[in-house]
Amino acid sequence: MKDTFKHKGLRQQLVAVVKDKGIKDEQVLKAIGKIPRHLFMDSGFLDHAYQDKAFPIAANQTISQPYTVAFQSELLNIKNGDKVLEIGTGSGYQTAVLCELGAKVYSIERQLELFKITSKFLPKLGYRAKKLIFGDGYKGLKEEAPFDSIIVTAGAPFVPKPLLSQLAIGGRLVIPVGDDIQIMTLFIRKGPKEFEKHEFGEFRFVPLLEDKN
Ligand code: SAH
């Protein structure tokens, strides 16, 4: 698990790329500049780690593109100590970003293989989520609700109701919605039954699947 000057240099270039594409949140940029993304991928793929691209990980899944991670993180508007639910732990890279932003993170993954790998790996890097859960993100995590923010890192064919109902008043849900192509969507809970909706253009994610394996 090496993090060399070369990696650090490449990471600063990646920060510049993401900034150039429009990310302004300094805390988010700082997190991208700090987290050794190459360690979240198989070592054979070192050359790809600091390009602004999604990349295959275990169980046919992907580590999201850094710009997408930054974009979703910026929309969450996290404050230190916020309780945040992530759906789709995957490699744990987005989880690490949330930790760097000072969130108390709960993250759900439905692929057992990824859940096991990432549960072992994140603490080794010093990232301690409140809870990593093997389960179905469509249901959210009722026992820990309400959340200040919820982030979905897979393409959702529709907006799961439990996720909206598990938001605190003032809370934010960031979710890519759609089948082949997704529209990045932000819901802000204004009242018990009142939600404000904002849309932010097209993204592409692996699908949010029902029924865990
Ligand atoms: N945040 C991840 C992105 C991984 S890709 C990262 O930074 O690497 C999306 C992840 O969502 C995959 O790991 C996939 O297995 C998971 N996923 C898909 N459907 C799910 C569901 N219903 N509940 C929880 N996780 C799910």
* 25 Cα distance to chain centroid: 16
Nearest Cα to Cα of residue 137 among 180, 190, 94, 169? 94
74 lines ligand 1 (CB under 6 A): no
Which one of 53, 64, 208 would you pick to mutate in the ligand 1 pocket, going by the greatest count of ligand atoms within 8 A of its CB?
Answer: 208
In which band, very low, low, confident or very high, does the pLDDT at 213 lie, cut at 50, 70 and 90? very low
Q: Determine contact, residues 63/41, Cβ cutoff 8 Å.
A: yes
Q: Judge if the upstream peptide bond of residue 146 is cis by omega within 30 degrees of 0.
A: yes
User: Is it the case that residue 26 has pLDDT exceeding 90?
Assistant: yes
165 lines ligand 1 (CB under 6 A): no
154 lines ligand 1 (CB under 6 A): yes
**Taking residues 42-60, what's their average pLDDT?**
85
CATH of domain 5-203: 3.40.50.150
Atom of ligand 1 nearest to the CA of 40: 8
Predicted pLDDT at 157: 96
54 lines ligand 1 (CB under 6 A): no
160 lines ligand 1 (CB under 6 A): no
User: Is it the case that residue 43 has pLDDT exceeding 90?
Assistant: no
| The three-state (H, E, C) secondary structure of 60-102, written as one string | HCEECCHHHHHHHHHHHCCCCCCEEEEECCCCCHHHHHHHHCC
Distance CA 158, CA 153 (A): 14
| pTM, rounded to two decimals | 0.96
136 lines ligand 1 (CB under 6 A): yes
Close Cβ partners of 164 (under 8 Å, ≥ 6 residues apart): 173, 187, 189, 195
The β-bridge relationship of strands 147-152 and 83-87 is: parallel
User: Is it the case that residue 212 has pLDDT exceeding 60?
Assistant: no
115 lines ligand 1 (CB under 6 A): no
Nearest Cα to Cα of residue 78 among 148, 24, 164? 148
Percent of the chain surpassing pLDDT 70: 98
* Gap from CA of 5 to ligand 1 centroid (Å): 31
Q: Which two tokens stand for residue 86?
A: 């992530």
What is the tens place of the pLDDT at every residue in 67-121? Answer: 999 999 999 999 999 999 999 999 999 999 999 999 999 999 999 999 999 999 9
Phi-psi region of 77 (alpha: psi -120 to 50; beta: other; left: phi over 0): left
User: Is it the case that residue 182 has pLDDT exceeding 70?
Assistant: yes
Nearest CA to ligand 1 atom 26: 88
Nearest CA to ligand 1 atom 14: 88
119 assigned to active site: no
- The active-site residue, picked from 43, 64, 73, 165, is 64
Which one of 86, 110, 182 would you pick to mutate in the ligand 1 pocket, going by the greatest count of ligand atoms within 8 A of its CB?
Answer: 110
Predicted pLDDT at 211: 67
